[in-house]
Structure 1
Amino acid sequence: MPAKIEKELNTLIKNFIWNSQLPSLSMRTLNSPTSEGGRNVLNIQARNEAIHLMKLKKILDRSPDRPPAADAAEAIIICSLPKHTRDQEAHDPRIIDIFTQQIFNKHRYVSKTLPHEIKAILNTGAKYNLALDDVNLPLNIRLDLPAWYHIGTEEHVKSRENTPAAKCLRNTHNCQRTGNLLILANILDNPQHRRWNKSCSCPPCTNFKMASCKNPETCYQLANHMISNLKPQYNPCTAPIRCPPPSGDERAIIKSHSLNGPSSIKVIKTFPNPKDHASVLRIHNSQITSASFRKRITNPLPLRLTPPKKLSTDTVAYTDGSCTGNGETDAKAGFGVWIAPECPDNASLPVDRIFPQTNNSAEVLAINHAITTTPLRARLHIKTDSRWCVNALTVNLEKAEDQDYISTPQPLAIKNTISSLRMRNGIVSIEWIKGHNGCAGNENANELATLGSAKTPDNGSVTPTSCQGTPA
């Protein structure tokens, strides 16, 4: 919608509400929800931006169902690039996905060759920091990123996109992805290869010479240079070792801890499994400054690179939440965690005031407390009587992350719990059990939760962990 029409509609709304008199409240207050003192009046600007973001999502789509209009829009965007940054041919092999390449990474788009609608879509994406969710990128995504105009290249590195060796990499070696560069760079460590020797007769050099590569060694060195100058969060050589899926023996151990049968227990996926780099492009529903964005890029969460031991101990934790006056303004919530009699990790704590004082909030924070207090390498088996928690952390998690938790209840508590999960090396399973059904562990956790809700929360009761590990 043009800005002029948007302004006229806002004027009509204000005149209708205030009967053409001087407004007593700002439009920002009127647009706010009633729970925050507003009147929940339709925010036309936000609605238009939401429409633009949905269109941008279609352009970013790489599935077989991608609409033809998205292909046309991307072609128009590529044609708007300056001529000195792209080849004159119809298809530039360096440009694979402009949204994950430096060539089109801008804070504002002002090109006169771009149609107004496409420009508005791109500017909305830039406003809300369309970017790779680059915290703990998995190895397959790092290998799939475009090799040229790489978004993770260090700022001080001089571009070598147009050197003869670079052109040979593209045309002869068909290097389009970072993974292609890594394969060539690894040839330098081949014991049969003679470095800095044009007459090297090792199998890779022989094959590339037959394919019209004049100096394979130079191409290997350039590929190695491009890999070495990637930021750590993009470099495939520094990809974190993640907790692998449970092996056959581990699955048997997990099932042995089930109280309702093997089919009722679920393993929480510590990390999502994106298929390609386009699937980790994220829009932040709240604006962040460019300075804080750069800080998030350059200072990601510390990675735990040590893989879990195969023979890890098993911890069974019963969790429960309690809330007096649930739904009321004076509600008080608390949670309990019970592991074993006289166990020092048993907990009975109130929910801090930074979280909503609800039963669901207490249930999630009980799980979070169990995750953060048990040994990182231990297999943790959580037993909870909250089906909502089980679904929120398993079947509904991927959808919630894709929507940036917009429609997810207790988003802060869920984000904290997922962030804690991603700091673990051990496998975490969760199982729903029926509450107040004679299960000693559940009864003990419920008693601790009731005691916790009666306590007075302080600033140190439950502190939110860093949520940078969650998709934006």
Structure 2
Amino acid sequence: MWLKRYLAFGPNRPLWAFLADALLANNTPASENSVPMDIRTNCYLQSWTTSTSPCSSQPTDLLKMIKTGQKYGVRIEGLAFDRNILRDMPIWHHIFADPRIRRLTNSSASNCLRLKHNLQTVGEAEDLAAPLIRVNGIQLQHRFNGQCECRDCIEIQELTECEHPHHCMLRAQELLDTLPPKWDPRAEQPADYEGNFTNFSVSQEENIFDYRLTTAGDLSDLFRVFTDKDHTPANETFVCNGELITVATDGSCINNGQDTAIAGAGIYFAKDDPRNKSLKLPQMAGGTKLTQSNQAAELLA
């Protein structure tokens, strides 16, 4: 329960969670000494680690909370996420970024982003780099040099006292370029086409399966428990060709409710379709014994 409240990143996040952020950021292994304190936002959202050694100065309650999360497999997991979530992620040491993002932290441009622009999130980096976007191969107002006097550069100089807006835009773009497509708000996302399939006409005997892959909400909705530590979540985005498919699924169990129960499931697309499958419910999954039952078989299907 403490960990769940700690990871509640919405507007009602408890005050103690912000204090916990600071304590966890202050108690890190020596290997994280190169990570500036001002960018250590949250060890569940970024690639730096907090100390879990009993010999560290980590408060006992926080140490117990972190170890509980490790024990029960609490981590970010999901097929796709709403752009608002992607934009709210911290850009510095983003947990899913290419490791080279660590080398982009301490340059003069990065220091300016951190100290003058107060840049913290992916969304802020995307907004700052927006003037670099070309439309049909044509650069709009911004000019690729240090003497650009476009509206964006002038506004940045006035608001942040940044002396080289163009260099900071380029560094923001470099940071964004370390993100895999699944975590890059500039990339095509499943949410871009999911809205096109909401108005199907169905008969009373039919139900439309909620096919949407995208998790909406805020950063709190990123997390899952009981995840498989041996499984690495995919960072690719999913492409939909717009085809509506009708699939029949079902599960059943022989000797349901008895020790000799055996459960299985079936997936049917069409006659002689190679995608048709029959599946036997395994006895074990990830070290956990599975109950052989109708319900478990239907979930498998």
Band the TM-score falls in, shorter-chain normalisation: 0.7 to 0.9
Q: Is the 8 A contact 1:153 1:230 kept in 2?
A: yes
TM-superposed deviation, 1:100? 0.8
Which runs of structure 2 are paired with 1:101-112 in the superposition (5 Å)?
101-104=46-49, 108-110=52-54, 112=56
Q: Which stretch shifts more, 172-181 or 271-280?
A: 271-280
Identify unmatched segments of 5+ residues in structure 1: 1-53, 365-409, 418-472
Hey, what's the Cα distance between the residues in 2 that align with 1:241 and 1:254? 22
TM-superposed deviation, 1:303? 4.2
Matching residue of 1:273:
215
Matching residue of 2:69:
125
Q: Is the 8 A contact 2:251 2:264 kept in 1?
A: yes
Matching residue of 1:43:
none
Hey, what's the Cα distance between the residues in 2 that align with 1:339 and 1:199? 61
**Alpha-carbon displacement from aligned partner over 1:409-451 (angstroms, at most 9, x marks no partner):** x5xx1xxx5xxxxxxxxxxxxxxxxxxxxxxxxxxxxxxxxxx
**Alpha-carbon displacement from aligned partner over 1:96-116 (angstroms, at most 9, x marks no partner):** 33421223366x445632222
Paired AA for residue 104 in structure 1: T
- Aligned sequence identity (%): 24
Matching residue of 2:288:
none
Matching residue of 2:287:
none
Hey, what's the Cα distance between the residues in 2 that align with 1:95 and 1:224? 20
Hey, what's the Cα distance between the residues in 2 that align with 1:347 and 1:86? 51
In structure 2, relative to structure 1, the CA distance for the partners of 1:258 and 1:114 (3 Å cut) is: same
Identify the match of residue 181 of structure 1 among 109, 122, 125.
125
Hey, what's the Cα distance between the residues in 2 that align with 1:332 and 1:347? 23
Which runs of structure 2 are paired with 1:132-151 in the superposition (5 Å)?
132-133=76-77, 135-151=79-95
Paired AA for residue 293 in structure 2: T
TM-superposed deviation, 1:155? 2.2
Matching residue of 2:106:
162
Paired AA for residue 153 in structure 1: A
Matching residue of 2:41:
96
TM-superposed deviation, 1:143? 1.7
Higher helix share: 1
Q: Is the 8 A contact 1:335 1:350 kept in 2?
A: yes
Matched pairs, number: 284
Hey, what's the Cα distance between the residues in 2 that align with 1:178 and 1:350? 43
Paired AA for residue 245 in structure 1: G
TM-superposed deviation, 1:164? 2.8
Q: Is the 8 A contact 2:88 2:123 kept in 1?
A: yes
C-alpha RMSD over aligned residues: 3.7
Q: Is the 8 A contact 2:253 2:294 kept in 1?
A: yes
TM-superposed deviation, 1:199? 1.8
Paired AA for residue 177 in structure 1: T
Q: Is the 8 A contact 1:184 1:220 kept in 2?
A: yes
In structure 2, relative to structure 1, the CA distance for the partners of 1:209 and 1:360 (3 Å cut) is: closer
Hey, what's the Cα distance between the residues in 2 that align with 1:282 and 1:335? 25
Identify the match of residue 206 of structure 1 among 132, 139, 154.
154
SS of the counterpart of 1:199?
coil
Paired AA for residue 225 in structure 2: I
Paired AA for residue 223 in structure 2: L
Matching residue of 2:238:
304
Hey, what's the Cα distance between the residues in 1 that align with 2:175 and 2:223? 23
Hey, what's the Cα distance between the residues in 2 that align with 1:223 and 1:318? 47
TM-superposed deviation, 1:215? 0.9
TM-superposed deviation, 1:281? 2.6
TM-superposed deviation, 1:219? 0.5
- Using CA pairs below 8 Å that are at least 6 residues apart, which structure has the higher relative contact order? 2
Hey, what's the Cα distance between the residues in 2 that align with 1:213 and 1:199? 13
In structure 2, relative to structure 1, the CA distance for the partners of 1:132 and 1:318 (3 Å cut) is: closer
Hey, what's the Cα distance between the residues in 2 that align with 1:191 and 1:215? 19
SS of the counterpart of 2:104?
coil
Matching residue of 1:6:
none
SS of the counterpart of 2:167?
helix
Hey, what's the Cα distance between the residues in 1 that align with 2:255 and 2:33? 65
Identify unmatched segments of 5+ residues in structure 2: 134-138, 284-290
Identify the match of residue 327 of structure 1 among 249, 254, 257.
257
TM-superposed deviation, 1:129? 4.5
Which runs of structure 2 are paired with 1:71-470 in the superposition (5 Å)?
71-81=18-28, 85-87=35-37, 92=38, 94-104=39-49, 108-110=52-54, 112-133=56-77, 135-157=79-101, 159-189=103-133, 190-195=139-144, 197-211=145-159, 212-242=161-191, 243-246=193-196, 251=199, 253-255=200-202, 257-259=203-205, 265=207, 267-284=209-226, 288=229, 292=230, 296-297=232-233, 300=234, 303-308=237-242, 312=243, 315=246, 321-331=251-261, 343-344=271-272, 352=280, 354=282, 357-362=292-297, 364=298, 413=300, 417=301
TM-superposed deviation, 1:146? 0.5
Q: Is the 8 A contact 1:169 1:175 kept in 2?
A: yes
Paired AA for residue 108 in structure 2: P
TM-superposed deviation, 1:133? 1.3
> If you compute each CA radius of gyration, which structure gives the higher value, 1 or 2?
1
Hey, what's the Cα distance between the residues in 2 that align with 1:161 and 1:285? 31
